[in-house]
Amino acid sequence: MAKVNCIRCEKTQEEIEGTPYGGKIGQTLQEKICNVCWKEWYEQSIKIINEYHVSLRDQKGRDFLATQMKLFLKLETPEDETAVQVEDTPPKP
Ligand SMILES: [Zn+2]
């Protein structure tokens, strides 16, 4: 298993198992994110999908989740993207 210098936890750890995403983002994830952080994101993504009722059948839903992933894994700085804080501000019905 190859090791990566993870940009999120700033440790040298095992790279992500398998290929989570195709294309450029998949390559970036494999080069910059460790398997530990990837698993954390996986857990977080389930919370986001449930709390925000994200439909992965829609392009919009997939884009939303991809944006959240980039923010969570520090692949992008939140400038004009809308970040959600799942722990801090859960939506109230
Ligand atoms: Zn990491």
Query: Would residue 91 count as lying in a domain?
Result: no
85 CA to middle of ligand 1, Å? Answer: 20
Query: Would residue 39 count as lying in a domain?
Result: yes
Query: Would residue 11 count as lying in a domain?
Result: yes
Neighbours of 82 (CB within 10 A): 9
pLDDT at residue 26 in the model: 92
Query: Would residue 24 count as lying in a domain?
Result: yes
How many separate domains does the chain show?
1
Percent of the chain with pLDDT over 90: 71
Q: Which of 12, 83, 24 is nearest to 48 (CA)?
A: 83
Residues spanned by the domain of 50: 3-72
pTM: 0.77
52 CA to middle of ligand 1, Å? Answer: 25
Find the mean pLDDT for residues 39-53. Answer: 97
38 CA to middle of ligand 1, Å? Answer: 7
Confidence of residue 43 (pLDDT cuts 50, 70, 90): very high
Query: Would residue 14 count as lying in a domain?
Result: yes
Query: Would residue 79 count as lying in a domain?
Result: no
Residue matched to tokens 């999120």: 8
Percent of the chain with pLDDT over 70: 82
55: domain CATH number is 1.10.3880.10
